[in-house]
Structure 1
Amino acid sequence: MRSSESYPGEPGAVAAARHLAARFLSRVGMGGAAAAEQTVQIVQLVVSELVTNAVRHTDGPCGVDLELTGQTVAITVWDTSPQLPVVTEHDPTRVGRHGMEIITALCGGFQVARREAGKQITVRLLLADAAV
């Protein structure tokens, strides 16, 4: 199962993408139980961090693609900037710039692919791990 949306590069895109993730997981049967609610929250956090980066660091549209394969959800966010994401070294005293650090901790890493106009970042999250 798959769901995709495109957004203008504006702050409202973050909330819209979080809603997309919740609707998607509800459609695939992840709504209701406490573990499932935690899964929804983690997927929404990952989507939120990636879309926030797309909105904050680019000046064009962005998009989200969610795909469920077995028990893994692939989250892909594209934007129009060719600049690749930077994971900064862990620093608990730093304010901000923790997005990709959070993504790496929750998803074990990410893949970046260049697009004709920009890039896309894909992460995979095993839903069973998100429910723990």
Structure 2
Amino acid sequence: MEQPVAYEESVQGGQVNGAGVMRGSASYEMTSSDIARVRDFIREFLTTAQTVHGWDVSARAMDVALLVASELATNVCKYAPGPCLVDLECDGTTLGIVMWDSGPILPAASAADPTRIGQHGLELVLMVCQSFEVRREPVGKSLRVQIALPDSPDNNPSGHTTW
């Protein structure tokens, strides 16, 4: 069951300014219906970043964030069923997504195989994120990604790193 969403913002000099950081957290039981709830949480978070702070969140960044959320949440449902925590952090230029679960097995991308059906989620995440990191935690693991929010004038993701 989804827990209440909590947003928190760093405060400098009594107010959030352009250099501030917006954070959000939500927890889920990670049933298949929670995958859509994770996407909704991220969509709402980025929409708030746009409307409240005026931060540039390109359509590409929104689509990438929702795709990454779907892939990471699907992997939790398949391989680490049980409670999951999603932490978001945005500074106006990047979105950080951390997904914590209780599964002990660390994910690894499969070798390229054009005949393989399915199991391409991690490969997709690696292609579209600026960074990807997996950490073993005292219980389970956390997956951390960074996504560039604005696009450059030539419509390329700013700061994108190819793998």
Q: TM-score, normalised by structure 2?
A: 0.72
Which consecutive unaligned segments of at least 5 residues does structure 2 have? 1-21, 52-56, 157-163
Q: Percent identity?
A: 38
**Residue aligned with 1:10, SS:** coil
Partner residue of 1:84 out of 103, 106, 126: 106
Higher helix share: 1
Tell whether the 8 Å contact from 1:55 to 1:62 is kept in structure 2 after alignment: no
Partner residue of 1:27 out of 36, 40, 48: 48
Runs of 4+ in structure 1 deviating by more than 4 angstroms, as ranges, are none
Instruction: Report the count of equivalent residues.
Output: 128
Partner residue of 1:2 out of 7, 23, 26: 23
> Structure 1: how far apart are the matches of 2:151 and 2:127?
12
Are residues 1:44 and 2:70 paired?
A: no
Aligned AA (1:2): R
Question: CA shift at 1:24, angstroms?
Answer: 0.5
Q: For 1:3-51, what per-residue CA distance to the aligned partner results, in whole angstroms no more than 9, with x for missing partners? A: 1111003101100000001000000007xxxx73332111100011011
Aligned AA (2:84): C
Question: CA shift at 1:92, angstroms?
Answer: 2.4
Partner residue of 2:37 out of 10, 13, 16: 16
Larger RCO of the pair (alpha carbons < 8 Å, separation 6+)? 1
> Structure 1: how far apart are the matches of 2:133 and 2:60?
24
Tell whether the 8 Å contact from 1:103 to 1:109 is kept in structure 2 after alignment: no
1:118 maps to 140
Which consecutive unaligned segments of at least 5 residues does structure 1 have? none
1:34-73 equivalence runs, <5 A: 36-73=58-95
Tell whether the 8 Å contact from 2:30 to 2:73 is kept in structure 1 after alignment: no
